[in-house]
Structure 1
Amino acid sequence: MSRRLRAFKRWMNSQNIEYAKNIEIIDKGINNGISIKANADLKQGDIVAKIPKNACLTIKTTACSEMIQDAGLAGSLGLAVALMYEKSIGECSLWAGYLQLLPERECGVPLVWTLDEVDQFLTGTELHKAVKDDKSLVYEDWKENILPLIASGPLELDPMAFGAEQYFAAKSLVSSRSFEIDDYHGFGMVPLADLFNHKTGAENVHFTSVSSPLSNTDNDSDAEDNEYINNHHYESTEHLSTCKNGSPAALGGKNISESNDIELSSNSEEDSDHLEMIIVKDVKAGDEVFNTYGSMGNAALLHRYGFTELDNPFDIINIELNMVLEWSSSLFSSRYSRARLSMWRRIGYCGCVSQNSEYFEISSDGEPQYELLILLYIIFLTDEVYDKLNQTVPSTGNLDKDVGILLLHKNTKRIPLEIPDMAKNYLLTDNVCGALVSLADIRESFYRLNSLRDDIQSLSSCCVRDRKLYHSMVLRVKERKILNNLRAYASSRSHKYKKRAVLRKNRR
């Protein structure tokens, strides 16, 4: 057993953190991290750990809690300040035994990469712009909120421990390791719970937030739930999305896997000062006990946690609305494209929205977002049909409209919007399918000159220990494969459309 692990276990004992003998904490070294293994078969319902809430590092439990509250800091910003402060006081910190186990920063998280590294590894990917924006916003957070505390705060803060670099490092740890505890504590660092590694679709540790008796809020609202995903909260500089798969520009929305194996929750109403880790799916002896952060694509995983997965079924790639408009304007006029976009909005549609960006998701199998298909279809409407539609749809829009009105020149049957699978059969015309291929080609051009084959070869020869290169290459290759899948999707649907047209003609 390593020295740092022995120190951590002594600290857990001092804080009354209990864990079962049938799980083992494995220290693989500073470069390889820590994992949790089952020493015996774990059955559903087994309690494997019990963690007092006051052993969690939060803005309520930290020694600088009063300073944080007086400064009006909260969320990940406040927690990052708490983490920096506790680290700055060394052995005097109540969490010294825990903090010595943590890395200085989560090196795989692009937030702490240099700008040169961001350009080198992420150009063309979903993360390139998002990470640059993050770095700028996080620096502004530091300048506006942390710098004044150093200059004139109530505590004599060490400038060397509260610099911009230290703040970025703390943010990377908070981003990748914090959990929601309850309404009173908010988010915090939860010792032991943050040591379980992630594996998509194989969750062994699940964190359930519960209300503390000290909370000022009686009930959690759905709106608050929508601000969190997979038991963690996102960077304060990030905004929520209306989409579902956790794209990097839209890291929001709760999305907990149904294959949980361990649950972390309060023991009971009478014992809400503790969190319990409970097995909710059997684990065999010798197997690693996993957590999962939900149904997240590789861009979201790398953005927040610093790693990717080769076989991630939740991967997506985005097609930005601006790119669609530029493509449309290259075929038609800008005025024409804006008018068709306006009609699309009047009918009641929009893309995914995050920060100042609007975009459409393409799933891992290449299927485009339904809203994109409708927009492309409207772009290709004949003037006659468009004018008829323009006269029919009120300027204020109507969410109850159906796509049948778009299809009057083809079919008198009205196809309701609430049945997208049926509507797609009509929306995927040759023009729309050709547009999808063109958009895939434009998006592909973002990846410099290397071909996908070159990238696959580079990935196969890349060492996993070179984390920045390896995980950025996984992201890049997976994104480009999705673009290939989009082309294949469009080509196959176009062929089916032609086949349907021939069959209809033969029936006549």
Structure 2
Amino acid sequence: MATQAKRRRVAGPVGGGDADPDPVAGFLSWCGQVGLELSPKVAVSRQGTVAGYGMVARESVQPGELLFAVPRAALLSQHTCSIGGLLERERGALQSQSGWVPLLLALLHELQAPASPWSPYFALWPELGRLEHPMFWPEEERRRLLQGTGVPEAVEKDLANIRSEYYSIVLPFMEAHPDLFSPRVRSLELYRQLVALVMAYSICFFVCGGVDLNLHTISENCLRMVATQPIPKGHEIFNTYGQMANWQLIHMYGFVEPYPDNTDDTADIQMVTVREAALQGTKAEAERLLLYERWDFLCKLEMVGEEGAFVIGREEVLTEEELTSTLKVLCMPAEEFREFKEKDGWGDNKREEDSLTITNIPNLKASWKQLLRDSVLLTLQTYATDLKSEQDLLSNKEVYTKLSWREQQALQVRYGQKMILHQLLELTS
């Protein structure tokens, strides 16, 4: 990932009302009250940060130095909130696919509790109504800007799951305890906002994000943040999101890294797209039936699935075993496939020339390269625009700066993916 986060974040009061004139002072006072230890070498500030509130190094910090330590009792969770006992007793009824229902109920309760111990922490939250995750974009805009990237499909699944979880578990629980949840927090929209906030900020106590500069470790009594890299004086301190592609960053956090900063960026080739590309080469019905037989066999080996994807990075194929097996089975002669199937795939030794490292792709069998190339071409057809159009936008700074923030973020996602796919085209030509 890049060494500088690029996310736009907006801080403000939660749920409306007047903002604290000095929320940082209130937050720091609260830190002292709950025993949160903050290194004198760092400061919580809006000055010198990417956006919103962040942590800035007052002095240079060395790897291993403590940045802050939070007592377990000060961590906001379903175990420490004021209704923790109730949530524990009802744990069985609150089980869900996400596993987040108890935590989200804790947040919903504390947000509307006038005397919540975490009110000074909430004062540093971004405005919930201005979160930039694609789930809050209008559907038409999301599909228009992110078509082909995989984000619209991921968001639709999220929205369906959130809606189902809210109406089947969360709302009935709140209605069963009207003394604990005021009507103003019984809202699907607020619940969606909190889901997004938990996705983006659940491991942070400060509005931070981006690169691998610090590490959180949890002991029995507290959470400790220590520096893992030297941090120069005046630099903002970030918490890592891990190795994530741009489509994952915008989906989960609402921002991306501009090309070519995100070295962990990837492009997906849907597994069924490879099947579709292979079907293009069949002429007779018998060939089609044999290809489906091969596909079913790959499904049995758990190498492919109807909703799976082959993941391609800039320098490696992250799903090398799956893609290698798929190309091999779909391209091998019919008699060889029969023998391979009888052995249930066993006894097949991987040859060095079949390695799907990026550098070895030009050395693959011609049939493999052709199928991979056809699959890439089909994948590129799923985007609404071509690579040249993206390049023209990015190279013209005057035009690029006139794009909306969402248009810029989506452009970076599309462009990064297409660059990887076009690299594959060159390697398979």
TM-score in same-fold range (> 0.5): yes
| Alignment of 1:140 onto 2:76 | no
Deviations 1:196-223 (A, max 9, x none): 3212xxx222123xxxxxxxxxxxxxxx
Q: Identify which range, 333-342 or 292-301, moves more after superposition.
A: 333-342
Relative distance call for 1:191 and 1:367 in structure 2 (3 A) is closer
CA drift at 1:455: 2.2
Counterpart-to-counterpart distance in 2, 1:423 and 1:373: 14
Alpha-carbon spacing, 1:440–1:303, altered in 2? closer, same or farther (3 Å): same
Which of 217, 240, 249 is the equivalent residue of 1:301? 249
Select between 165-174 and 60-69 the one with higher mean Cα deviation: 60-69
Q: Which runs of 5+ in 1 are unaligned?
A: 180-189, 209-264, 267-271, 404-414, 492-508
Instruction: Measure the CA separation in 2 of the matches of 1:107 and 1:191.
Output: 17
Q: State the shift of 1:451 in Å.
A: 2.5
Deviations 1:465-484 (A, max 9, x none): 94422222211111111111
* Structure 2 residue identity aligned to 1:125: T
How far 1:86 sits from its partner (Å)? 0.9
- Structure 1 residue 345 displacement after superposition: 5.3
Deviates more, 1:463-472 or 1:357-366: 463-472
Query: Residue 48 of structure 1: CA displacement?
Result: 2.3
Secondary structure, counterpart of 1:92 in structure 2? coil
C-alpha contact (below 8 Å) 1:368/1:486 kept by paired residues? no
Identity percentage over the alignment?
21
1-structure distance, mates of 2:120, 2:403? 27
* CA deviation vs aligned residue, 1:377-433 (integer Å, no higher than 9, x gap): 332333xxx3144135436442x5324xxxxxxxxxxx3799766996797122221
Q: Which of residues 8, 24, 41 is equivalent to 1:22?
A: 41
Q: Which residue of 2 aligns with 1:357?
A: 307
Q: How far did residue 457 of structure 1 move? A: 3.5
Alignment size in residue pairs: 394
Match of 2:102 in 1: 78
- The equivalent residue for 2:419 is 481
Letter in 2 for 1:99: F
Report the CA distance shift for 1:462/1:64 in structure 2 as closer, same or farther (over 3 A).
farther
Alignment of 1:6 with 2:18, yes or no, is no
Q: 1:327 is matched with which residue? A: 277
Cα distance in structure 2, aligned partners of 1:423 and 1:490:
11
Letter aligned with residue 111 of structure 1: M
For residue 392 of structure 2, what is the aligned residue in structure 1?
457
2:118 is matched with which residue? 95
User: Following the alignment from structure 1 to structure 2, what is the Cα–Cα distance between the partners of residues 87 and 368?
Assistant: 41
- Distance verdict in 2 for CA 1:425–1:316, change over 3 Å: closer
Structure 1 distance, partners of 2:135, 2:76, is: 22
The one-letter code matched in structure 2 to 1:100 is: A
The aligned runs of 1:280-291 (5 Å cut-off) are 280-291=228-239
Is the contact made by 1:298 and 1:312 (CA closer than 8 Å) also made in structure 2? yes
**3-state DSSP class of the match of 2:163?**
helix
SS of equivalent to 1:357: coil
Using the TM superposition, give the Cα deviation of residue 31 of structure 1 relative to its aligned residue in structure 2, in angstroms.
Answer: 10
- CA 1:471 to 1:421, structure 2 compared with 1: closer, same or farther past 3 Å? closer
CA spacing shift, 1:442–1:423, aligned 2, 3 Å? closer
Bigger mean CA deviation after superposition, 156-165 or 368-377: 368-377
- Which position in structure 2 is the counterpart of 1:276? 224
- Render the CA deviation track for 1:3-52: whole Å, top value 9, x for unaligned: 12222212222212121121122215999312222111112232221211
Higher relative contact order (CA 8 A, sep 6+): 2
Q: Is the 8 A contact 2:324 2:355 kept in 1?
A: no
Most deviating of 287-296 and 132-141? 287-296
Q: Which amino acid aligns with 2:205?
A: P
Mapped to 2, the partners of 1:479 and 1:143 lie a distance apart of 36
Q: Secondary structure at the match of 1:375?
A: helix
The structural deviation recorded for 1:191 is 2.7
**Residue among 377, 392, 397 paired with 2:328:** 377
Aligned to 2:267, the other structure's residue is in SS state: strand
Match of 1:220 in 2: none
2:414 corresponds to which letter in structure 1?
A: R
Q: Which residue pairs with 1:387 in the alignment?
A: 335
| TM-score normalised per structure 1 | 0.70
C-alpha contact 1:59 1:82 (8 A) present in aligned 2: yes
5 Å-filtered alignment, 1:208-247, equals: 208=217
Classify the secondary structure of the residue corresponding to 1:198.
Answer: coil
Aligned residue for 2:308, secondary structure, equals: strand
Where do 1:138-217 residues align within 5 Å? 138-153=162-177, 155-179=179-203, 191-192=205-206, 195-199=207-211, 203-208=212-217
Larger mean CA deviation between 1-10 and 157-166 belongs to 1-10
Cα 1:395–1:423 change in 2 (3 A) is: farther
- Note closer, same or farther for the CA distance 1:110–1:320 as it changes in structure 2 (3 Å cut): same
Matched-pair contact (CA < 8 Å) for 1:122–1:472: yes
Residues 102-111 or 15-24, more deviating: 102-111
Task: Report which stretch shifted further, 334-343 or 140-149.
Answer: 334-343
Amino acid at match of 2:122: L
Question: Equivalent residue for 2:369?
Answer: 433
The DSSP-based 3-state class of the residue aligned with 1:277 is strand
Q: Is the 8 A contact 1:35 1:196 kept in 2?
A: yes
Distance 1:426 1:483 in 2: 15
Aligned residue type for 1:485: Q
Name the structure 1 match of 2:134.
110
| Amino acid paired to 1:312 | N
Larger proportion of helix: 2
* Secondary structure class of the residue paired with 2:144: helix
Aligned counterparts of 1:62 and 1:175: Cα–Cα separation in 2: 19
Structure 2 segments unaligned to the other structure (5+ residues): 1-19
